[in-house]
Structure 1
């Protein structure tokens, strides 16, 4: 499997409105987009962002998503199920300590991929 780079850092929250007040207001991060369940904030001039999302299981666990050329192929290689996201497909797995690593692609938004921009 080939890792192209960091996609996003995910932060679980209990209340999206309060999270927006903190990340957008207190920290002053620029919101790239939001839905009813998540908001993506720019981290400086970097392409990867800080993705704040409501987690029913409870807040407080960090996740790191890494871009791969094909998340469904990675899922098959790892023996886990992928799921669809706004930009393409993702698979998540936990390390031995419970930290979540996501492998995501840009199958639905290929122009945003590192492969399209020459970064991968």
Structure 2
């Protein structure tokens, strides 16, 4: 039984990435992904992910990330692979589709069909992604937790 005195972690609202320059970062990510810009200033930009977002913040100071990364879920992993190639971005060696942006942020591309993560039907509808489905492995994982997959 969960400890009722502690809050339960239930998801992410956003991820913040430190980049060198906001305009350069928007141009870089715009070569790879189709996204909706929520807002921006000289030091911040916010990219919508439906009910979540990525915050880009100017001022990266640390060296490139190695193991530290986040998995960015996309509607079409193979289209992401092609977009990385077209943008001249070489994926990192390994079993996953990982890359580093020009500021050293490490990002793993994950297909929506293959994750235990689901978007609510109203969010998928708002994003124009009602056609997305889960593969059998993801459906099984969701079923084991008592969560229905779309």
Q: TM-score by structure 2 length? A: 0.34
Q: Which has the higher contact order (CA 8 A, sep 6+)?
A: 1
Larger Rg: 2
Q: TM-score by structure 1 length? A: 0.41
In proportion to residue count, which structure has more strand? 1
In proportion to residue count, which structure has more helix? 2
